[in-house]
Every structure is written in structure tokens, then in C-alpha cells.
């Protein structure tokens, strides 16, 4: 039987700070991640690597990253795990807790590596205090340089925010800005060595053919957002989580989604404007305290 390269795609872990109530968490994300990691340990054969595409924590605090580190250390998976940052994360606490690094703590967390014959490029699309994704000066040049490396090795791109599908400025809040979507399209256009782009952010499973490149979004570990209602501007959240299994063959990438067993109970239903107002009131109250 042919042995293909396999990997797991996790996203939107939203790990909370233990003991601190969080109005923007609808499920026990620590318990969910612990179960997922325990399941992964039983996979035979084990995947070659694991990708986690951002929103590692829900509030980006040091205690939240310490909780994430505890869960990962306890699981002790003997599998390379590549982490990306999302809009709910904060760079300085991440660098300090997860990497034991305090220098250049505001810098984007961009890096690349080759595992099992796959060149994985992780691009930090998080912007402090913003929900949408964007690139900072210098990141696009860094990305171009990495694409030029490891010629002949198929490439997998990881970022938290999905690229815009319709290039409509009104939908920028759902992912990357229009400006950076176009910039990345121009950089990637015509390339035949891109296996796919892995992302999260919108809390449901979705596959798009983005200018000839598979754009793969996985639902994540927090909750599930109804994609039909999302198109109408409502964020209808139910309990539930999923991971994706990627298989890399000589001709390209296959992805299978694995929903976690859940009762899909409704936990929230609001418009995007209502969410923004709720967040504003919540953070104003927290700042006052």
C-alpha cells in the first residue's frame, strides 16, 4: 500500500484563561482540545505533521497561552505541530509563553519549514485589535522569498484569515482585506507548486477553488457558524467542532473533514453589528474595572 504524506488541520482553538469567565466563549474549549489531542494519539498511522491555523486562544493573555501549553505538554504528541496566530491571539504573550522569547515580540510570526517532502509556509495575518486579516510592511517580500526556496517541493500555505472570494470590500470582516487579497493573488497567480492554503476564522468547513488554488477552511474547535445565515449577516453559532485530514499525493491534495460528535445546540444568534456592540460594551466595562 502506497504511503502518502498526511497531516491534520486544526484551527480556532479559542483556549480561555482558566477561572476567568468569558462572555465570548460558548463551549469548553480546553475540554474539546484535550479530547481531540487524545484521539490523535490513537491514529495509526500517525500523521506526518499537524497545522493549527490561528485563534489559539480567545483573549490572547499569558494565562490563556499557559493553558494551551499545558494541554499540549500533557498530550505529548510525537508529531511536529505548526502554530499560526489569529486575530484573537496577541504576539507578545505567545512569544513569551510558547517560544520563551521576549525580543521582537511585536513582529509577525512568519516562518517556513520542510516536513515529509512538503514545504510549509506560515504567514501571520493577525492585526492587533482587529478582526480582519492583513499583512504588515515587509511580509509580502518575505513571502515571495520563501516561495522561491525549495524549488520542486510542493508548498502548503497556512494563514488564519481566508482570502476574499468575491473581492467585495463589504465582506473584508470575514477574512483578509481586499488590498492584501489582490496582492497575494498576484504573487501566487500561475504557480503550479501550491498544494493549497489552509485557514480558519469563520468556524465552518469550506473548500473554494481560489484562482486555481484550493482554499481550505476548517470549522475549528470552538463552535460552528451557519454559513447560510452568515451570508445574510447573522452569526448563528451552535456547539460543535471539526478537524480536517489532509493527504498529499503525487498529483495534489485531498482533504476530508471530521466533525466532532456534538448535539449542535444553538448557543448564539446575532448580527455582526450586534456582535461589535457587544464587544464594545464588554471591553469598556472590563477597562473600567
Per-residue pLDDT of the chain (289 residues; tens, 9 = 90+): 567 999 999 999 999 999 888 877 878 999 999 999 999 999 999 999 999 999 999 999 999 999 999 999 999 999 999 999 999 999 999 999 999 999 999 999 999 999 999 999 999 999 977 888 999 999 999 999 999 999 999 999 999 999 999 888 877 878 999 999 999 999 999 999 999 999 999 999 999 999 999 999 999 998 888 888 887 778 778 887 899 999 999 999 999 999 876 666 666 666 767 766 766 555 455 444 4
CA distance 232 to 174: 12
Whether 200 and 159 have beta carbons less than 8 Å apart is answered as no
- DSSP letters, 198-235, are EE-SSSS-EEEEETTEEEEE--BSS-EE-HHHHHTTEE
Q: What is the CATH number of domain 5-288?
A: 3.60.21.10
CA distance 114 to 220: 24
pLDDT at 267: 66
The cell for 93 is: 504573550
Burial of 150 (0-12, 13-18, 19+ CB in 10 A): middle
Whether 146 and 139 have beta carbons less than 8 Å apart is answered as no
Other CB atoms within 10 A of residue 20 CB: 11
Q: What pTM, to 2 d.p., does this model score? A: 0.90
Amino acid at each position: 500500500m502506497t504511503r502518502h504524506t498526511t497531516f491534520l488541520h486544526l484551527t480556532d482553538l479559542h483556549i480561555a484563561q482558566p477561572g476567568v469567565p468569558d462572555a465570548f466563549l460558548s463551549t469548553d474549549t480546553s475540554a474539546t482540545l484535550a479530547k481531540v489531542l487524545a484521539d490523535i494519539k490513537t491514529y495509526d498511522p500517525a500523521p506526518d505533521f499537524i497545522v493549527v491555523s490561528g485563534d489559539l486562544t480567545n483573549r490572547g493573555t499569558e494565562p490563556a497561552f499557559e493553558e494551551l501549553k499545558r494541554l499540549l505538554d500533557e498530550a505529548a504528541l510525537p508529531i511536529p505541530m505548526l502554530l499560526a496566530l489569529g486575530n484573537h491571539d496577541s504576539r507578545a504573550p505567545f512569544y513569551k509563553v510558547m517560544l520563551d522569547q521576549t525580543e521582537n515580540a511585536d513582529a509577525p510570526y512568519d516562518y517556513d519549514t520542510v516536513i515529509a517532502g512538503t514545504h510549509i509556509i506560515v504567514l501571520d495575518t493577525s492585526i492587533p485589535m482587529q478582526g480582519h486579516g492583513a499583512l504588515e510592511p515587509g511580509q509580502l517580500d518575505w513571502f515571495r522569498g520563501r516561495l522561491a526556496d525549495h524549488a520542486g517541493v510542493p508548498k502548503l500555505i497556512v494563514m488564519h484569515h481566508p482570502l476574499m472570494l468575491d473581492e467585495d470590500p463589504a465582506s473584508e470582516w470575514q477574512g483578509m482585506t481586499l488590498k492584501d487579497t489582490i496582492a497575494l493573488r498576484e504573487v501566487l497567480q500561475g504557480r503550479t507548486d501550491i498544494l493549497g492554503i489552509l485557514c480558519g476564522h469563520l468556524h465552518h468547513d469550506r473548500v473554494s477553488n481560489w484562482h486555481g488554488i484550493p482554499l481550505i477552511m476548517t470549522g475549528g474547535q470552538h463552535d460552528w457558524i451557519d454559513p447560510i445565515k452568515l451570508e445574510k449577516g447573522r452569526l448563528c453559532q451552535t456547539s460543535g467542532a471539526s478537524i480536517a485530514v489532509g493527504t498529499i499525493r503525487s498529483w495534489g491534495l485531498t482533504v476530508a473533514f471530521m466533525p466532532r460528535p456534538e448535539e449542535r445546540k444553538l448557543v448564539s444568534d446575532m448580527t455582526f453589528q450586534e456582535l461589535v456592540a457587544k464587544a464594545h460594551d464588554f471591553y469598556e466595562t472590563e477597562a473600567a474595572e
